[in-house]
Structure formats: structure tokens, C-alpha cells
């Protein structure tokens, strides 16, 4: 029976001490770098330099040799932890990678990728061809060394780039996404070419059939991941949320990362690509929990990433480069690598329509080679393509370009200006990121069909951003024949062009089924109420339970008298929207609904703040004026114009209804909080009165009660 070989107590002791020293030094120097205006990654990389043979190995040789002996077992233990850091960084990068944005930026992605790859490849091959034989590895000649140096100059360190872009707040900028995409292409092509070189070194021939097979496998993996893989990941996360909440969701997330990393590793294209793709599909899933993403970020940024970056500099001895020849050619390698990457990015970016500054910013980011360069150097040394001197030179290239990337970026960033389209996108993302419900990535629409559900579908379609999805859920309490299935054509028509997922269930407890679905990542539930609404106490028991126990806000929609049939819905049923302004949290969400509907349907907007007490005389108090100023500013942020007024009246609902009739509004939007009264949900006298008596369509944004109210 085969048993695992145990690791000795001494090796484990050293591992724990190594992690303590590396983590402490990396965190301390990372914070120090941050205080002087540099990203933390600069300090974390410097920690590895100081602890490695170049500095500590000279000052404290015995201590360094004991703590970091460099034998196979000890190195494997430490590198396993470091590689987890690489995978987690790639996972976070995938979370932030926007495929839709990259699709819209298709031409610049292609141009930047080609330019930043082809010129460094050519320059690296030429440089390797003219360098003296004293840099060649013992198992290669001029051709093999030149090919290896070409790959070393062409690659980029995607984890380093991602961290720099994140810390400098460039990830959501067009140039940040373009740089990440080009870095993906650079690394992918670089690792494939490395496989060619390994085949050349081991057999002396190039196996083009194996290269073609690898390329085909990578393309198939990418396509499968964002299609069937996306659906599989959705189901895994859905089941994880149903089964065990946060712990299960975190386990599923890390499991998907490790599985896809293993797949790409088996394909010969390094696990980092699999982790990146895992982050993309996990980040796109509406079942992904935000607290899981935050936990992955905390684990990565506080523990694994610092260890990874500090480990990068441990095994390089730069004293080997202190000879005239070593120093000269190291400087030449650095210069050629930097100029070719910047020049290639500039040429490729400009030909693809990017500005000069954008191209240079991307080139400065792509110039960082980080631990990918270190891994490459280690492979080259093991293959015999490099000797100790050329190994140290490429290690120096990897570290210096990573440390130089942030200052280089800052040099160009002062001149970087966002285009109007990008500024508008960033402002919209910021607005939706702060929104209470308008930024929801998905919504749940439980329905049995009917006109009110069709109106509700139109409301939620107008509210959500285009990329958000809607889950249409039908639940029957018993098994009926196929004729009992609800007619949902009108609901689908209202959601045309949007991602829609249908779930049709049979359950003895419809309310429990709806509430269970609502807890699976939705941030909004939409319900169409009956035409003859006569107070929440008259609603069916399942609907009452959903309203009372929903963990997320609800949109309650009851159609107005002007919507009688499909023809009325096919036109524009929302021409005059009346908004009740309160300034409370549900009222702020109601403002989002009104503003989005006004913009979507080119409607007229009247927003009134009803003052029911404490306002004597004719002048409005400063508090009321501030409320009107605030709501005007909120409307401007959504790109909406309207009329904003304050009214005095004994009852807010009476004044809203009177104004709706006088102004000929067809829609009233209000916000409220559900409260339990006598074991049933209560929406408030004014809200329920409007639902009962208004001839207009009434949209109520209902928030769950606070813990104290429950």
C-alpha cells in the first residue's frame, strides 16, 4: 500500500518560521511603500530582495542558510504556499475582468496584445543571438538561448499587473481592462512558446502538432468555461448557498479555482490561467456572495499575496552580476526589455485607436514581469538553457521591472484623460454601485401570470441595469395538468433582450419556495398584486408570508385602470410619474425606481415632499429645502429632469392622490417599510390606502423591517 511520505518536524518548523519572517517583512515594507505613495507590492517584492542571498545572505550567511536552505523539500513547501497566493490573485483579477467591456474594446485589445508581444519577442531573440556564449546554458546553443530570452522579454506578470492596477484604482478604467487582457494574451502565448522551447531542448526538434493541440485545447477550454462552464458554476454556487450559506459558498469558490487551475496545468499552460478564468465565471454568477469575494480579497491581500511577492526574491544572487560583463549585459537586457515593451505597446495601441498616453500606461503596466519571470528563469536554469549568470540577470529583470512599473505608471497617469464615453460609464458604475436597488445584478419575479405581473415585469426591466438578469419563478401548490401552467408570454415580452431564467416548481409550500429562491443571491423581489387590492390582510397567505419574511426589498406593483389589455402595455403606460419623497431609506429606493422609469419611458416626473407637521407660515424650513436640493441632485445623477415641490397637508397619502388626479399622473411611486401587526405584514395606512383607492398604477418599494421592528 502506497503511503504519503511524511515531512519531518524540522522542515515544518522551518516552514512556519519562513512564513512568519516573510509575512512580517512583506507587510511591514508594503505599508512603508504605501506611506511614500507607492503600491504595497513594491515593498513586498523588496522584502524578498532583502531576505535573499543578495543582502541577508551576505550580512547573515549562517542564519540565512539555516532559515532558507533551498533544498527540494523545503522549497516545495514554501512555493506551494506562494503558488496559492498566485492563484488567489488571479482569482481576484478574474472577479474584476469585464468580458462585456473587453468585447466593446475588441480592436484595442487585439492591437495592444500584438504590439506588446511581437516587438519584445523579436528584440529578445535578436539580443539572445548577439550575447556572448558566457551567458548560454550548458545544455543549449545560440538558437535555444535566443529563443528562451525572447520568451523572457515577451511575458508579463499578470498577478503583479492586477495588484498594481487595483491599488492604483485603474481596474475599472478602459486602460486597466485593456492591460489585463493584453497581459493574459502575453502570458498565454509566452507559456505556449515555452512549451515549444522545452520540447526543443529535450528532443532537439519542434513538435508543431503538439503546439497546435495545445492551442486548440486552450481555445476549447476558454469557450467551454464561459458557456457550459458558466452554467455549471451557477448551479454549484446555487447549491452551495442553499446547503450551507457562507462556508459552503467559500468552499465552492476555492474549489472551482483549484479545479480549473488543475485543468490548465494538465494542459501545460500553468494553473494561473485556470484561476483567472475561474474568477471570471465566478464573478459573473449572480449566485456569488459578496462576502465571499471580500473574504478572498482579505485572505489574498493580507496573507498569501505578501508571502508570494516576498518569496519571489529569495533565490536570486545578484552578486554574480557584479562583473563588468555581467553588469553591462544586465543593463542591456533591462533596457531592451523596457523599450521593446513600451514601444510595442505604443505602436500596437496607436494602430488600434488608443491614445499615446493610454498606450504608454498599458506598456508601463505590461512591463512588469514579476514572479512569472522568476518562474521562467527557474525553468530555464533547470533545462540548462540558462547558467547562473543569465539566471540572475533574468531574475533581476523580473524584479526591477515590477518595482519600476508603479513609478512609470504615475509618470504617465498625470496626462491620462478619460474619454466622454468612459467618464459616463465610470459615473454610471459609481452611481449603481451606491444605489440601493437599481444596481442589483438580478431580481426575482414570482408569478402565476396575469396583467399585474406583466406590468411588474416592465417596471423591473426599466429599473435594472442592462446586464442584470431576472429569474421568473412559478410555483404551484399541487400537481395540475399542463393546461394549468400560467401564460407568461406577456412577462417574457416585457423582459425581451434581458437574460431571463425560468424556474417552474411544484411545492406544497409556495411561500417557502419563493423565500428560498430569494435568498440565493437576488437583491430584489417583484410581485404583481391583485387588481382588487383591499389591504395586505386580504392577500393570499403565501403572498403575505413573502412580504413579511422577504430578506431583500420588494417591488409591489398594482396596475392602474388605464392598463386594460396587451395593447395598452405595448404602448407607453408610464407617461407621467408621481414620486412621493420621504428621504428615508425606502424612499431613496423609490426615487431610484421613479428616476429609472422616467429615463426609460421618456416620462414627465413630479416629485413632491409632503410636510404633515412642524411647518407653520409660508416659508419652507431649511430641512425641507435641503431635502428638495438632495432629490434634485439625485435626479441629475440619473440624468433625469423633473419638477420638485414641497406641499403641506394633514395626510401624505391624501395629498399624493389629490396631486395624481390633478396632474393626471398614470403612475405613483412610494417607499415604505413592512411592519408585523397581529401576525401579518402591514405596509402602513397611507401606502395601503393608495394601493386600494388610486386609479393610477401604484409601485411600492417595500423594505424588510429592522431587527428591532421584528
Element (H, E) at 300: none
pLDDT class of 593 with cuts at 50, 70, 90: very high
Q: How far apart are CA 272 and CA 279, in angstroms?
A: 11
Question: With 0-12 CB in 10 A as exposed, 13-18 as middle and 19+ as buried, what is 489?
Answer: exposed
Q: What percent of the chain has pLDDT over 70?
A: 89
Collapsing DSSP to helix, strand or coil, 316 comes out as coil
| DSSP per-residue string spanning 425-465 | HHHHHHHHHH-SSTT-SEEEEE---SHHHHHHHHHHHHHS-
Residue 609: φ, ψ to 5°: -110, 115
> 9-417 sits in which CATH class?
mainly alpha
- pLDDT above 90 (res 221): no
Collapsing DSSP to helix, strand or coil, 697 comes out as strand
Angle, CA 551 vertex, CA 546 and CA 555 arms, to 5°: 60
The 10s digit of each residue's pLDDT in 514-566 is 888 888 878 899 998 876 665 666 777 888 888 888 889 999 999 888 887 77
Q: What percent of the chain has pLDDT over 90?
A: 22
* Number of C-beta neighbours around residue 616 at 10 A: 8
CATH architecture group of domain 432-478+485-703: 3-Layer(aba) Sandwich (3.40)
The 10s digit of each residue's pLDDT in 241-269 is 777 678 888 999 999 999 998 988 887 76
142-146, 340-344, 620-624, 664-668: segment of lowest average pLDDT? 620-624
* Residue 201 pLDDT: 53
Please give the C-alpha separations between residue 193 and each of 74, 251, 375, in angstroms, as whole numbers.
30, 34, 14
* Residue 1 pLDDT: 43
189-193, 291-295, 469-473, 563-567: segment of lowest average pLDDT? 189-193
The 10s digit of each residue's pLDDT in 308-366 is 888 876 766 788 888 999 899 999 999 999 999 999 999 998 988 888 888 898 888 88
Q: How many residues does the chain have?
A: 710
DSSP 304: I
pLDDT class of 632 with cuts at 50, 70, 90: very high
Please give the C-alpha separations between residue 622 and each of 343, 612, 627, 655, in angstroms, as whole numbers.
59, 16, 9, 22
pLDDT class of 392 with cuts at 50, 70, 90: confident
Domain boundaries, the chain: 9-417, 432-478+485-703
What number is the average pLDDT over the span 75-88?
84
* Residue 596 pLDDT: 93
* Residue 618 pLDDT: 56
180-184, 223-227, 455-459: segment of lowest average pLDDT? 180-184
226-235, 430-439, 577-586, 599-608: segment of lowest average pLDDT? 430-439
Angle, CA 218 vertex, CA 212 and CA 220 arms, to 5°: 100
Mean confidence (pLDDT) of the chain: 83
Gyration radius of the chain over CA positions: 31
Confirm if 592 and 443 have CB atoms less than 8 A apart: no
Amino acid at each position: 500500500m502506497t503511503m504519503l511520505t511524511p515531512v519531518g518536524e524540522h522542515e515544518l518548523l522551518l516552514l512556519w518560521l519562513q512564513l512568519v519572517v516573510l509575512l512580517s517583512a512583506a507587510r511591514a515594507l508594503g505599508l512603508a511603500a504605501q506611506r511614500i505613495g507607492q503600491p504595497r507590492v513594491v515593498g513586498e517584492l523588496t522584502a524578498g530582495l532583502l531576505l535573499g542571498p543578495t543582502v541577508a545572505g551576505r550580512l547573515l550567511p549562517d542564519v540565512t542558510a539555516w532559515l532558507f536552505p533551498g533544498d527540494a523539500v523545503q522549497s516545495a513547501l514554501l512555493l506551494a504556499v506562494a503558488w496559492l497566493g498566485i492563484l488567489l490573485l488571479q482569482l481576484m483579477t478574474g472577479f474584476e475582468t469585464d468580458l462585456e467591456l473587453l468585447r466593446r474594446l475588441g480592436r484595442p485589445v487585439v492591437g495592444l496584445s500584438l504590439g506588446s508581444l511581437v516587438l519584445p519577442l523579436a528584440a529578445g531573440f535578436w539580443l539572445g543571438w548577439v550575447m556572448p556564449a558566457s551567458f548560454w546554458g550548458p545544455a543549449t546553443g545560440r538558437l535555444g538561448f535566443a529563443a528562451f530570452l525572447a520568451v523572457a522579454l515577451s511575458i508579463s506578470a499578470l498577478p503583479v499587473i492586477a495588484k498594481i492596477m487595483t491599488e492604483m484604482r485603474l481596474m475599472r478604467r478602459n486602460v486597466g481592462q485593456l492591460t489585463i487582457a493584453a497581459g493574459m494574451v502575453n502570458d498565454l502565448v509566452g507559456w505556449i512558446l515555452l512549451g515549444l522551447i522545452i520540447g526543443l531542448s529535450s528532443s532537439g526538434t519542434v513538435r508543431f502538432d503538439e503546439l497546435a493541440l495545445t492551442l486548440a485545447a486552450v481555445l476549447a477550454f476558454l469557450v467551454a468555461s464561459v458557456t457550459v462552464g458558466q452554467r455549471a458554476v451557477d448551479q454549484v454556487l446555487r447549491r452551495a448557498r442553499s446547503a450551507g450559506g457562507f462556508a459552503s459558498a467559500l468552499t465552492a469558490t476555492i474549489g472551482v479555482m483549484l479545479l480549473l487551475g488543475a485543468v490548465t496545468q494538465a494542459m501545460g499552460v500553468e494553473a494561473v490561467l485556470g484561476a483567472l478564468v475561474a474568477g471570471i465565471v465566478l464573478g459573473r454568477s449572480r449566485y456569488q456572495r459578496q462576502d465571499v469575494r471580500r473574504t478572498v480579497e482579505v485572505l489574498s491581500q493580507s496573507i498569501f499575496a505578501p508571502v508570494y511577492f516576498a518569496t519571489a526574491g529569495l533565490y536570486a544572487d545578484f552578486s554574480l552580476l557584479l562583473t563588468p560583463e555581467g553588469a553591462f549585459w544586465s543593463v542591456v537586457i533591462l533596457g531592451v526589455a523596457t523599450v521593446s515593451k513600451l514601444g510595442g505597446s505604443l505602436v500596437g495601441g496607436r494602430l488600434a485607436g488608443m491614445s499615446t498616453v493610454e498606450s504608454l500606461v498599458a506598456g508601463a503596466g505590461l512591463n512588469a514581469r514579476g514572479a512569472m519571470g522568476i518562474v521562467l528563469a527557474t525553468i530555464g536554469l533547470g533545462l540548462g538553457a540558462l547558467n547562473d549568470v543569465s539566471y540572475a540577470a533574468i531574475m533581476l529583470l523580473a524584479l526591477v521591472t515590477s518595482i519600476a512599473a508603479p513609478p512609470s505608471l504615475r509618470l504617465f497617469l498625470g496626462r491620462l484623460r478619460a474619454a466622454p464615453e468612459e467618464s459616463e460609464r465610470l459615473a454610471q458604475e459609481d452611481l449603481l454601485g451606491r444605489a440601493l436597488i437599481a444596481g442589483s445584478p438580478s431580481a426575482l419575479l414570482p408569478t402565476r401570470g396575469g396583467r399585474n405581473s406583466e406590468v411588474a415585469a416592465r417596471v423591473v426591466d426599466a429599473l435594472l441595469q442592462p446586464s442584470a438578469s431576472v429569474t421568473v419563478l412559478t410555483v404551484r401548490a399541487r400537481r395540475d395538468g399542463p393546461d394549468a401552467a400560467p401564460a407568461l408570454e406577456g412577462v417574457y415580452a416585457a423582459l425581451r433582450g434581458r437574460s431571463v431564467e425560468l424556474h417552474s416548481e411544484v411545492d406544497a409550500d409556495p411561500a417557502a419556495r419563493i423565500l428560498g429562491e430569494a435568498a440565493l443571491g437576488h437583491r430584489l423581489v417583484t410581485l404583481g398584486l391583485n387588481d382588487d387590492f383591499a389591504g395586505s390582510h386580504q392577500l393570499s397567505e403565501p403572498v403575505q408570508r413573502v412580504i413579511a419574511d422577504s430578506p431583500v426589498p420588494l417591488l409591489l406593483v398594482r396596475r392602474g385602470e388605464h392598463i386594460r389589455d396587451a395593447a395598452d402595455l405595448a404602448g407607453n403606460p408610464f407617461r407621467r410619474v408621481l414620486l412621493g419623497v420621504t428621504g428615508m431609506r425606502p424612499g431613496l429606493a423609490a426615487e431610484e425606481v421613479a428616476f429609472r422609469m422616467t429615463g426609460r419611458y421618456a416620462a414627465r416626473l413630479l416629485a413632491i415632499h409632503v410636510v404633515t407637521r412642524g411647518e407653520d407660515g409660508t416659508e419652507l424650513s431649511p430641512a425641507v429645502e435641503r431635502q428638495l436640493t438632495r432629490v434634485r441632485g439625485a435626479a441629475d445623477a440619473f440624468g433625469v429632469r423633473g419638477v420638485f415641490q414641497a406641499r403641506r397637508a394633514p395626510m401624505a397619502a391624501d395629498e399624493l392622490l389629490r396631486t395624481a388626479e390633478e396632474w393626471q399622473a398614470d403612475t405613483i411611486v412610494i417607499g415604505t417599510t413592512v411592519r408585523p401587526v397581529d401576525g401579518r405584514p402591514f405596509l402602513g395606512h397611507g401606502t395601503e390606502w393608495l394601493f386600494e383607492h388610486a386609479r393610477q398604477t401604484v409601485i411600492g418599494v417595500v423594505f424588510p423591517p429592522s431587527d428591532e421592528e421584528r
